[in-house]
Amino acid sequence: MRLKKPAARKEIKRILIIDGDVKFRKMLGRMLTAEGFIITEASNGEMGIQCQMEQPADLVIADINMPIKNGIETIQSLQEMDSDTRFITVSGGRWYGADVEFDIVQKLGAVTLEKPFKKQKILETIGQFRS
Amino acid sequence: MINKEIMVVDDEVLIRNLLSEAFNRVGYSVISVGSGEEALELLNHHDIEVFIVDLGLERMTGFDLCEHIRIHNPAAFIFALTGFCNLFGSGEILKAGFDNCFQKPFNVEHLYQSVGEAFEKIDR
Protein backbone atom coordinates (compact mmCIF):
# COMPACT_ATOMS: atom_id res chain seq x y z
CA MET A 1 0.00 0.00 0.00
CA ARG A 2 1.32 3.40 -0.92
CA LEU A 3 1.26 6.07 1.70
CA LYS A 4 -0.49 9.19 0.57
CA LYS A 5 1.91 12.13 0.42
CA PRO A 6 0.80 15.08 2.54
CA ALA A 7 -0.50 17.98 0.48
CA ALA A 8 2.29 20.44 -0.38
CA ARG A 9 2.10 23.68 1.54
CA LYS A 10 1.71 26.92 -0.32
CA GLU A 11 4.87 28.51 -1.60
CA ILE A 12 5.86 31.63 0.31
CA LYS A 13 5.30 34.69 -1.83
CA ARG A 14 3.56 37.20 0.40
CA ILE A 15 5.05 38.13 3.77
CA LEU A 16 3.45 40.24 6.50
CA ILE A 17 5.85 42.01 8.89
CA ILE A 18 4.29 42.99 12.23
CA ASP A 19 6.62 45.10 14.36
CA GLY A 20 6.29 48.38 16.25
CA ASP A 21 9.72 49.53 15.09
CA VAL A 22 9.05 51.35 11.82
CA LYS A 23 12.74 51.43 10.83
CA PHE A 24 13.08 47.69 11.31
CA ARG A 25 9.90 47.03 9.32
CA LYS A 26 10.97 49.25 6.45
CA MET A 27 14.52 47.94 6.23
CA LEU A 28 13.49 44.29 6.51
CA GLY A 29 10.67 44.92 4.03
CA ARG A 30 13.04 46.51 1.55
CA MET A 31 15.53 43.67 1.80
CA LEU A 32 12.82 41.01 1.35
CA THR A 33 11.23 42.91 -1.55
CA ALA A 34 14.60 42.89 -3.29
CA GLU A 35 14.60 39.11 -2.78
CA GLY A 36 11.32 38.85 -4.69
CA PHE A 37 8.73 38.67 -1.90
CA ILE A 38 5.58 40.78 -1.71
CA ILE A 39 5.56 42.63 1.61
CA THR A 40 2.83 44.11 3.75
CA GLU A 41 3.51 45.84 7.05
CA ALA A 42 1.64 46.39 10.30
CA SER A 43 2.77 48.20 13.43
CA ASN A 44 0.90 46.04 15.97
CA GLY A 45 -0.95 42.74 16.33
CA GLU A 46 -4.42 44.12 15.72
CA MET A 47 -3.38 45.86 12.54
CA GLY A 48 -1.63 42.66 11.51
CA ILE A 49 -4.83 40.67 11.91
CA GLN A 50 -6.67 43.28 9.87
CA CYS A 51 -4.05 43.05 7.10
CA GLN A 52 -4.29 39.26 7.13
CA MET A 53 -8.06 39.43 6.73
CA GLU A 54 -7.76 41.80 3.78
CA GLN A 55 -4.79 40.21 2.01
CA PRO A 56 -3.56 36.95 3.55
CA ALA A 57 0.21 36.44 3.65
CA ASP A 58 1.85 33.00 3.48
CA LEU A 59 4.35 33.91 6.17
CA VAL A 60 4.08 36.29 9.11
CA ILE A 61 7.18 37.78 10.75
CA ALA A 62 6.09 39.20 14.10
CA ASP A 63 7.80 40.82 17.06
CA ILE A 64 7.00 39.11 20.37
CA ASN A 65 6.79 42.29 22.44
CA MET A 66 4.14 44.55 20.99
CA PRO A 67 1.55 46.85 22.50
CA ILE A 68 -2.20 46.18 22.18
CA LYS A 69 -1.81 42.49 21.23
CA ASN A 70 1.52 40.75 21.78
CA GLY A 71 3.18 38.32 19.38
CA ILE A 72 1.81 35.19 21.08
CA GLU A 73 -1.80 36.40 21.05
CA THR A 74 -1.39 37.58 17.48
CA ILE A 75 -0.07 34.21 16.28
CA GLN A 76 -2.90 32.39 18.05
CA SER A 77 -5.50 34.59 16.37
CA LEU A 78 -3.86 34.27 12.95
CA GLN A 79 -3.62 30.49 13.26
CA GLU A 80 -7.33 30.32 13.97
CA MET A 81 -7.90 32.25 10.74
CA ASP A 82 -5.64 30.00 8.63
CA SER A 83 -3.76 27.01 10.03
CA ASP A 84 -1.47 26.98 6.95
CA THR A 85 0.14 30.33 7.73
CA ARG A 86 3.74 30.06 8.85
CA PHE A 87 5.39 32.25 11.47
CA ILE A 88 8.76 33.67 12.40
CA THR A 89 8.90 35.60 15.66
CA VAL A 90 11.62 38.14 16.22
CA SER A 91 12.70 39.70 19.47
CA GLY A 92 15.13 42.36 20.55
CA GLY A 93 17.11 40.33 23.07
CA ARG A 94 16.38 38.65 26.36
CA TRP A 95 14.03 39.86 29.06
CA TYR A 96 12.58 38.33 32.22
CA GLY A 97 10.38 35.45 31.08
CA ALA A 98 11.77 35.45 27.55
CA ASP A 99 12.53 31.70 27.65
CA VAL A 100 8.92 30.91 28.54
CA GLU A 101 7.62 33.12 25.73
CA PHE A 102 10.08 31.64 23.20
CA ASP A 103 8.95 28.19 24.31
CA ILE A 104 5.28 29.09 23.79
CA VAL A 105 5.79 30.52 20.29
CA GLN A 106 7.86 27.49 19.31
CA LYS A 107 5.08 25.20 20.52
CA LEU A 108 2.75 27.23 18.33
CA GLY A 109 4.98 26.23 15.40
CA ALA A 110 6.84 29.52 14.98
CA VAL A 111 10.58 29.80 14.43
CA THR A 112 12.24 32.35 16.71
CA LEU A 113 15.03 34.71 15.69
CA GLU A 114 16.82 37.21 17.88
CA LYS A 115 17.50 40.72 16.55
CA PRO A 116 19.78 41.66 15.02
CA PHE A 117 19.81 38.67 12.67
CA LYS A 118 21.74 38.46 9.45
CA LYS A 119 20.06 38.60 6.07
CA GLN A 120 21.36 35.11 5.31
CA LYS A 121 19.81 33.76 8.50
CA ILE A 122 16.28 34.94 7.78
CA LEU A 123 16.49 33.92 4.12
CA GLU A 124 17.59 30.43 5.18
CA THR A 125 14.73 30.26 7.65
CA ILE A 126 12.22 31.26 4.95
CA GLY A 127 13.87 28.72 2.64
CA GLN A 128 13.29 25.97 5.20
CA PHE A 129 9.59 26.78 5.22
CA ARG A 130 9.57 26.67 1.43
CA SER A 131 11.04 23.17 1.32
CA MET B 1 36.61 77.56 -4.26
CA ILE B 2 33.02 76.52 -3.70
CA ASN B 3 31.15 76.81 -0.43
CA LYS B 4 31.70 73.61 1.49
CA GLU B 5 28.12 72.88 2.35
CA ILE B 6 26.80 69.44 3.21
CA MET B 7 23.37 68.12 4.07
CA VAL B 8 22.88 65.64 6.92
CA VAL B 9 19.62 63.68 6.90
CA ASP B 10 18.94 61.60 10.01
CA ASP B 11 15.87 61.32 12.22
CA GLU B 12 18.04 60.98 15.34
CA VAL B 13 18.65 64.48 16.64
CA LEU B 14 21.80 63.35 18.49
CA ILE B 15 23.39 62.16 15.27
CA ARG B 16 22.39 65.36 13.48
CA ASN B 17 23.90 67.51 16.22
CA LEU B 18 27.02 65.42 16.44
CA LEU B 19 27.66 65.60 12.70
CA SER B 20 26.83 69.31 12.52
CA GLU B 21 29.31 70.12 15.28
CA ALA B 22 31.96 67.79 13.89
CA PHE B 23 31.80 69.23 10.36
CA ASN B 24 31.39 72.86 11.49
CA ARG B 25 34.58 72.43 13.50
CA VAL B 26 36.56 71.61 10.37
CA GLY B 27 35.14 74.38 8.19
CA TYR B 28 32.03 72.96 6.56
CA SER B 29 28.59 74.46 6.81
CA VAL B 30 25.94 71.89 7.57
CA ILE B 31 22.24 71.84 6.83
CA SER B 32 20.65 69.11 8.90
CA VAL B 33 17.13 67.75 8.57
CA GLY B 34 15.19 64.90 10.14
CA SER B 35 13.43 63.39 7.13
CA GLY B 36 13.72 62.72 3.44
CA GLU B 37 10.70 64.90 2.75
CA GLU B 38 12.33 67.90 4.47
CA ALA B 39 15.51 67.26 2.54
CA LEU B 40 13.71 67.31 -0.81
CA GLU B 41 11.82 70.45 0.16
CA LEU B 42 15.08 72.24 0.96
CA LEU B 43 16.67 71.02 -2.25
CA ASN B 44 14.07 72.99 -4.18
CA HIS B 45 15.86 76.17 -3.02
CA HIS B 46 19.41 74.97 -2.30
CA ASP B 47 22.05 73.40 -4.49
CA ILE B 48 23.89 70.89 -2.38
CA GLU B 49 26.45 68.47 -3.72
CA VAL B 50 27.37 66.37 -0.69
CA PHE B 51 24.96 64.41 1.50
CA ILE B 52 25.16 62.16 4.54
CA VAL B 53 21.94 60.14 4.72
CA ASP B 54 20.66 57.63 7.27
CA LEU B 55 19.22 54.58 5.51
CA GLY B 56 16.55 53.89 8.14
CA LEU B 57 14.56 57.11 7.84
CA GLU B 58 10.96 56.57 8.84
CA ARG B 59 8.68 57.51 5.94
CA MET B 60 10.85 58.00 2.90
CA THR B 61 13.85 55.72 3.52
CA GLY B 62 17.44 56.74 2.83
CA PHE B 63 17.37 54.49 -0.24
CA ASP B 64 14.34 56.39 -1.61
CA LEU B 65 15.93 59.76 -0.86
CA CYS B 66 19.16 58.74 -2.61
CA GLU B 67 17.15 57.78 -5.68
CA HIS B 68 15.36 61.17 -5.69
CA ILE B 69 18.60 63.11 -5.28
CA ARG B 70 20.22 61.15 -8.11
CA ILE B 71 17.35 61.97 -10.50
CA HIS B 72 17.99 65.70 -10.10
CA ASN B 73 21.71 65.59 -9.50
CA PRO B 74 23.41 62.44 -10.81
CA ALA B 75 26.83 63.78 -9.85
CA ALA B 76 26.01 64.38 -6.17
CA PHE B 77 28.10 62.63 -3.51
CA ILE B 78 25.81 60.66 -1.21
CA PHE B 79 27.11 58.79 1.80
CA ALA B 80 24.96 56.32 3.73
CA LEU B 81 24.85 55.83 7.48
CA THR B 82 23.30 52.62 8.66
CA GLY B 83 22.52 50.58 11.71
CA PHE B 84 21.27 47.77 9.45
CA CYS B 85 24.50 46.26 8.17
CA ASN B 86 23.09 42.88 9.16
CA LEU B 87 20.44 43.22 6.43
CA PHE B 88 22.33 45.09 3.72
CA GLY B 89 25.88 44.49 2.58
CA SER B 90 27.96 47.46 1.40
CA GLY B 91 27.72 46.12 -2.17
CA GLU B 92 23.94 46.44 -2.10
CA ILE B 93 24.14 49.94 -0.63
CA LEU B 94 26.58 51.12 -3.30
CA LYS B 95 24.46 49.50 -6.00
CA ALA B 96 21.49 51.53 -4.72
CA GLY B 97 23.38 54.71 -5.68
CA PHE B 98 25.41 55.65 -2.60
CA ASP B 99 29.06 56.58 -2.95
CA ASN B 100 30.09 54.97 0.32
CA CYS B 101 28.49 53.65 3.49
CA PHE B 102 29.35 53.89 7.15
CA GLN B 103 28.12 51.59 9.86
CA LYS B 104 26.76 53.13 13.06
CA PRO B 105 28.50 53.74 15.41
CA PHE B 106 30.80 55.42 12.91
CA ASN B 107 34.23 56.97 13.17
CA VAL B 108 33.87 60.64 12.18
CA GLU B 109 37.44 60.64 10.80
CA HIS B 110 36.30 58.23 8.09
CA LEU B 111 33.45 60.56 7.20
CA TYR B 112 35.84 63.56 7.08
CA GLN B 113 37.98 61.63 4.63
CA SER B 114 35.13 60.71 2.27
CA VAL B 115 33.54 64.17 2.42
CA GLY B 116 36.96 65.81 1.91
CA GLU B 117 37.63 63.67 -1.16
CA ALA B 118 34.19 64.51 -2.52
CA PHE B 119 34.91 68.27 -2.33
CA GLU B 120 38.34 67.77 -3.91
CA LYS B 121 36.61 66.15 -6.90
CA ILE B 122 33.99 68.92 -7.03
CA ASP B 123 36.76 71.59 -6.95
CA ARG B 124 38.58 70.06 -9.92
Residue of chain B whose alpha carbon sits nearest to that of A118 = B86
Average of pLDDT values for B84-112?
A: 94
What ipTM was reported for this prediction?
A: 0.86
DSSP β-bridge partners for residue B101 = B80
The three state secondary structure string of A55-75 is: CCCCEEEEECCCCCCCHHHHH
pLDDT at B1 over 60: no
Closest in A26, A116, A119 to B56, CB measured: A26
pLDDT at A10 over 80: no
Percentage of chain A with pLDDT > 70? 88
Whether the bond into B105 is cis, omega within 30 of 0: yes
B13 touches chain A (CB under 8 A): no
- Measured between alpha carbons, how far is B65 from B67 in angstroms, rounded to an integer? 5
Note the pLDDT tens digit of each residue in A84-117: 999 999 987 666 667 788 889 889 999 999 888 9
pLDDT at B4 over 80: yes
Label residue A131 by pLDDT band (50, 70, 90).
low
B80 touches chain A (CB under 8 A): no
**Contact criterion met (CB < 8 Å) for B61 and A34:** no
Q: What is the CA B117 to chain-centroid distance, rounded?
A: 14
Output the pLDDT for position A101. Answer: 82
Residue of chain B whose alpha carbon sits nearest to that of A122 = B87
Cβ-proximal residues to B14 (8 Å cutoff; 6+ apart), any chain: none
- Measured between alpha carbons, how far is A108 from A62 in angstroms, rounded to an integer? 13
Minimal CA separation from A50 to chain B, in Å: 21
Output the pLDDT for position A97. Answer: 67
Write down the H helix ranges in chain B.
13-25, 36-43, 62-72, 90-95, 108-123
Residue of chain A whose alpha carbon sits nearest to that of B57 = A23
pLDDT at B64 over 80: yes
Output the pLDDT for position A63. Answer: 93
A23 touches chain B (CB under 8 A): yes
